[in-house]
Every structure is written in structure tokens, then in C-alpha cells.
């Protein structure tokens, strides 16, 4: 009788030397905004605008008149400190492991990704979470940046609370797009969370529009570019965004960084290795009227 694996049990383990992670780490608003240098815990900038158009006709020989200048709007936001700690034992770092050589390097990679998501959530208000308002902080409370929503001018914000149909929602998008267009804004992106993205696909059904697919056998239920009289909007998904549509112009968005993301060793207190990961930054809506928002999008909107 042959000698079999059922008898000989001292065999090598069959374990893949890999780790498979699907947790999202994308942070589109933060990463698409240009990075600028902050030099203080309160970052400040200025906004101005040309007066509204008016009839401009003068009598021949008339006096020059009076100056109509208006004060520049001063804006600011607080830099927020974000931190994580990775701590592992000396044994765990030394033993052979599957899927990684250094446990500390792997844990740092995870925490860098988590902090990127935290920053995005602070900017766009995580689903079901609370939008941040700027806070100076004190000895017992941290400084907090204001979320993007809380920096927008009220005139470019449309409230969708009472909507019941997708058609009303699309009208709200057009209203917000028109509002910022009239102010001189030219947003080119429409940001949405995954749940509300389906409504954008439903715009076509609500309006009875058709798409020419020629001889294609593919089935499409997506809109990645929305075009209105006021410009084109590339649709971008953001998992961290709350229940709103954000019409954004990245020429007028920035991430001021006081201290770039970094990590360093902490003092040893026994047989462990500890490293702190830290970032200090804020978010700046450089012009409050350059963007638009459709806020408080309800769940369960119907197509008809």
C-alpha cells in the first residue's frame, strides 16, 4: 500500500504569501484640490467681486461722481490636527509573516489610508455624520476645520428636503448650476455619494431621453457627464460624501497644509515599537460663490 498524505501529516502549509484588502482609500476632493502652504493655525484668504451690471450713461460734462468700492471679504479656516498610532511587539516585527515583511510598515500603510479618508470625511461630511464647523479649540478641545458645505454662500445652495421625484432633483441641480453661473462660477464637476449617483442615472428616464447605442449589446445605466446650458459637469463618486450634490470648480478649492503627513518613532516603554502618524491641514473654499450645492437629498425619490 502506498505511503499517503493521510498517514504522513508533517507537511508544509499551503498559504499564499499575500494580503487582500478592498477597503477604500480614495479621497477625491482633497486629492483634486491643489495643495498650498499654511503658515499658521488659522489660515486666511480674501474674496472679492465686481459689482452687478447697471445702466451706465452720463451727461456730457458731468462731474466724475463718487467711488463705489466695497470691502474685500475676509475668509479663514482652522488647521486641524489628525493623528494615529501604530504599536507592535518586537516579536511580531521579527517573526516570518505572510503577505508582508515588516508588520510596522504594513500598519503604517493602513493608517495613512485611514487618515486620508478621515480628512475627506471632514471636508465633505461623511454619510450620516455631522458636518464640521470651524472651531478654534482650547486646552481641552481640538481645533476643527469647517467642512466644504459650511463655507458656501447661501445663494448657491438649493434645499432638496421637500423633493419627491427625480425630476424635481434635476431641476434643483439646474437651479444650483444657474445660481453659481450667474455669480461668474464655472464648476466642472458634480460630486455625489454612491447612493445618490443612481438618481443622476435616472434623470434620463424622468425626462424621457434616449441614448443611441448603435449596435452595442451592452446595457448602460450610468451618466458620467451631465451637460446643461451652464456648462459640463463630470460626475465623480465620493464614498465619504453626505446626502448632497456638490458642483465644484477646483480652481477655487485648496488644501492648505501646515504640517504634511509624516510618521516618527515614539519613546520605547518596553518590548514594543510605536510610531505616530500626524497631519495638520485645513480646507479652503477660495471663493464661496464659485461652487453650488443641492442639499438634503431625500431617499426614495421616484422617477415619475
Does 66 map to a domain? no
CA distance 164 to 144: 35
CA distance 194 to 146: 23
pLDDT > 70 in the chain, percent: 86
Grid coordinates given for 90: 518586537
CATH assignment of the domain containing 99? 3.90.1690
253 closest CA partner among 288, 301, 215: 288
304 residues of the chain, pLDDT tens digit each: 676 666 667 766 777 666 666 666 789 999 999 999 999 999 999 999 888 888 999 899 999 888 888 889 999 999 999 999 999 999 999 998 888 889 999 999 999 999 999 999 999 987 777 899 999 999 999 999 999 999 999 999 999 999 999 999 999 999 999 999 999 999 999 999 999 999 998 887 665 565 565 666 554 556 788 999 999 999 999 999 999 999 999 999 999 999 999 999 999 989 999 999 999 999 999 999 999 999 999 999 998 7
Can you give the pLDDT at residue 290?
Answer: 96
Does 15 map to a domain? no
Secondary structure (3-state) at 92: helix
Does 264 map to a domain? yes
Does 17 map to a domain? no
| Residues spanned by the domain of 195 | 28-46+73-211+220-295
Convert 57-86 to b/e letters by CB count within 10 Å (16 or more is b): eeeeeeeeeeeeeeeeeebebbbbbbebeb
Tens-digit pLDDT profile for residues 26-68: 899 999 999 999 999 999 999 998 888 889 998 999 998 888 8
Tens-digit pLDDT profile for residues 197-224: 999 988 876 655 655 656 665 545 567 8
Structural domains in the chain (count): 1
Grid coordinates given for 261: 503627513
Does 105 map to a domain? yes
Grid coordinates given for 225: 457627464
CA distance 244 to 128: 12
Does 64 map to a domain? no
Amino acid at each position: 500500500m502506498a505511503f499517503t498524505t493521510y498517514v504522513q501529516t508533517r507537511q508544509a502549509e499551503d498559504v499564499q504569501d499575500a494580503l487582500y484588502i478592498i477597503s477604500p482609500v480614495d479621497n477625491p476632493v482633497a486629492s483634486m484640490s491643489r495643495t498650498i502652504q499654511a503658515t499658521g493655525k488659522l489660515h486666511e484668504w480674501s474674496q472679492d467681486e465686481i459689482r452687478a451690471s447697471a445702466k451706465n450713461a452720463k451727461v456730457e460734462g458731468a462731474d466724475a461722481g463718487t467711488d463705489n468700492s466695497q470691502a474685500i471679504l475676509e475668509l479663514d479656516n482652522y488647521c486641524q490636527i489628525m493623528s494615529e498610532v501604530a504599536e507592535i511587539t518586537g516579536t511580531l516585527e521579527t517573526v516570518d509573516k505572510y503577505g508582508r515583511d515588516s508588520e510596522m510598515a504594513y500598519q503604517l500603510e493602513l493608517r495613512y489610508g485611514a487618515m486620508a479618508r478621515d480628512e475627506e470625511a471632514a471636508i465633505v461630511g461623511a454619510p450620516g455624520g455631522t458636518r464640521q464647523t470651524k472651531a478654534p479649540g482650547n486646552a481641552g478641545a481640538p481645533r476643527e476645520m469647517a467642512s466644504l458645505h459650511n463655507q458656501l454662500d447661501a445663494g448657491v445652495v438649493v434645499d432638496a428636503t421637500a423633493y419627491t421625484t427625480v425630476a424635481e432633483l434635476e431641476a434643483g441641480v439646474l437651479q444650483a448650476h444657474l445660481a453659481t453661473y450667474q455669480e461668474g462660477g464655472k464648476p466642472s464637476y458634480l460630486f455625489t455619494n454612491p447612493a445618490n449617483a443612481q438618481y443622476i442615472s435616472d434623470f434620463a428616464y424622468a425626462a424621457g431621453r434616449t441614448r443611441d447605442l448603435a449596435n452595442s449589446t451592452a446595457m448602460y445605466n450610468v451618466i458620467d457627464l451631465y451637460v446643461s446650458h451652464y456648462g459640463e459637469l463630470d460626475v465623480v463618486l465620493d464614498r465619504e460624501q453626505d446626502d448632497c450634490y456638490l458642483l465644484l470648480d477646483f480652481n477655487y478649492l485648496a488644501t492648505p497644509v501646515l504640517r504634511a503627513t509624516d510618521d516618527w518613532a515614539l519613546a520605547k516603554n518596553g518590548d514594543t515599537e510605536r510610531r505616530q502618524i500626524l497631519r495638520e491641514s485645513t480646507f479652503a473654499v477660495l471663493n464661496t460663490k464659485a461652487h453650488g450645492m443641492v442639499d438634503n437629498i431625500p431617499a426614495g425619490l421616484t422617477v415619475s
